[in-house]
Amino acid sequence: MATFKGFLRELDRIQRRSARSAEREHKISLKRQEARNARNAVEEQEEFLSFITTVHKDCSKKINWTEINSKDAPLKPEFNQSNRITAKNNFKNYIPSFFDKIFKLEKYRKRILLGKILKGKKLDSKLFEIKRNNYINRLAEWEAYQRLSKGLLDNNPAVYVECFKSFFDNECLTNLAHELIFKHDGGIVKIKIKSRKMNDFIPQEKLSFTSTGKLSTRAMPISKRNEIYQDYICSIALRIAREIEALFPIDKFLVNIVDDIVNPSTGHLEEQILLSLMPVKDTINKINFEKIDASSCITNFKHNMKFTKTKGLEPIKEVSI
């Protein structure tokens, strides 16, 4: 009996030890998950801030309108009767074989060959129809691009607007700006981008990962938030500059980043320019956009921008042409 009670006590100790071990493992698992969540939160914030300040790194493929304008029209296809001619020659040159003569298959063979002539004729017509339709489509495309290239090279405002609507990659500004307006004003291309407000998307807290695996949050200094917002504004301006330079055969143009700001003299919101930039084609093509800092890169171009760490970006006037 004593032995049986000892067995029960030992079993109880084993069960309690197992429960404590399971509880420890559960706590360790929770800490590991907490650490993973903290690390993911920090990485997500860092990736987001990197993304909004480096959109200038990407750009659409350049379009060479001069080269397009010099292209010849596609050649009109000629009707090819090769299948009918081949079948006709086979019919004409048919010589009955020994077995054809024995089994009197000459008429049957000729009937087969005659049918192949008709099939060859139909095949030739079908192939020509495919080539003709392809030619019509390629000709229409060639004529459209000829019209656009001529209009752009002649600095036609309507064609510039048409090309912008047709070819400009609006996805490059998805979730980064509220509005983009393109104008060909007095021979000068102007692009106006309405930016998002800093408080709408620039984090107010800085996330970090502690040595103990916990997520730490502290208020992000206003000076740091202003610097991030400046980099965001400049990065957008540079991305638009690259896209416009890649799309149009122009040497220089204007990019204005605007926002609605309270006018202290009226107390009302008014659209004000935060950055006015005049990109130049030759300068754009010399910059390695993978390595630059957006705010510093702006100085390569004629521009107007007023920034302080304490006040951030302040309203300015459009840069003079």
Question: For 282-297, how does the pLDDT look when each residue is reduced to its tens digit (9 = 90+)?
Answer: 999 999 999 999 999 9
Q: Which of these three, 103, 119, 153, is where a domain ends?
A: 153
179 and 290 share one domain: yes
Closest Cα partner for 284 from 295, 298, 273?
A: 298
Do 173 and 146 belong together in one domain?
Answer: no
Residue 145 in any domain: the answer is: yes
Say yes or no: 278 and 185 in one domain. yes
Half-sphere exposure of 205 (CA within 13 A, CB side): 8
Domain boundary among 153, 186, 214: 153
Rg, C-alpha atoms of the chain: 37
150 dihedral zone (left: phi>0; alpha: psi -120 to 50; beta): alpha
**Same domain membership, residue 176 and residue 250:** yes
* Closest residue by Cα to residue 315 from 199, 200, 195, 204: 195
Residues of the domain holding 110: 82-153
Whether residues 144 and 185 share a domain: the answer is: no
Strands 254-262 and 269-278 come out as: antiparallel
Q: Which helix (H) or strand (E) holds 308?
A: strand 306-308
Burial class (CB in 10 A: 0-12, 13-18, 19+), 161: middle
Q: To 5 degrees, how large is the angle CA 107–CA 123–CA 115?
A: 10
Number of domains in the chain: 2
Distances (CA, A) of 14 to 4, 6, 20, 121: 15, 12, 10, 92
Whether 147 and 179 share a structural domain:
no
Burial class (CB in 10 A: 0-12, 13-18, 19+), 73: exposed
- Please tell me the number of Cα atoms within 13 Å of 265 on its side-chain side: 1
Last-in-domain residue among 102, 126, 153: 153
pTM above 0.85, yes or no: no
Biggest distance spanned by C-alpha atoms of the chain? 115
In a domain, residue 220? The reply is yes
* Residue 51 structure tokens: 């993304």
Q: Give every residue of the chain whose pLDDT is below 70, as ranges.
A: 1-2, 4-8, 10-12, 19, 22, 26, 28, 172, 174
Question: Would residue 21 count as lying in a domain?
Answer: no
The answer as to whether 95 is a domain residue is: yes
Tokens encoding 274: 């935060």
Angle subtended at Cα 31 by Cα 29 and Cα 33, rounded to the nearest 5 degrees: 70
For residue 321, what pLDDT is reported? Answer: 79
Confirm whether 8 is domain-assigned: no
Residue 164 belongs to some domain of the structure: yes
The confidence score (pLDDT) of residue 291 equals: 95
Do 97 and 228 reside in the same domain of the chain? no
Residues 3 and 6: their CA atoms lie apart, in Å, by: 5
In a domain, 52, yes or no: no
Are 177 and 143 in the same domain? no
| pLDDT for res 103 | 82
- Distance of CA 26 to CAs 14, 19, 34, 119, 264, Å? 18, 10, 12, 78, 59
167 and 140 in a single domain? The answer is: no
Same domain, 120 and 214: no
Same domain membership, residue 94 and residue 119: yes
Q: Which residues pair with 306 in a beta bridge?
A: 314
pLDDT on residue 10: 66
Q: Is residue 39 a part of any domain in this protein?
A: no
State the first-to-last Cα distance of the chain, in angstroms, to the nearest integer: 105
Distance (Å) of CA 143 to CA 68, 130, 138, 249: 11, 20, 9, 19
- Residue 215 CA to chain centroid, in angstroms? 34
Q: Are residues 279 and 167 in the same domain?
A: yes
Q: Are 122 and 87 in contact (CB under 8 A)?
A: no
| Cβ count within 10 A of residue 93 | 8
Q: What's the full length of the chain, in residues? A: 321
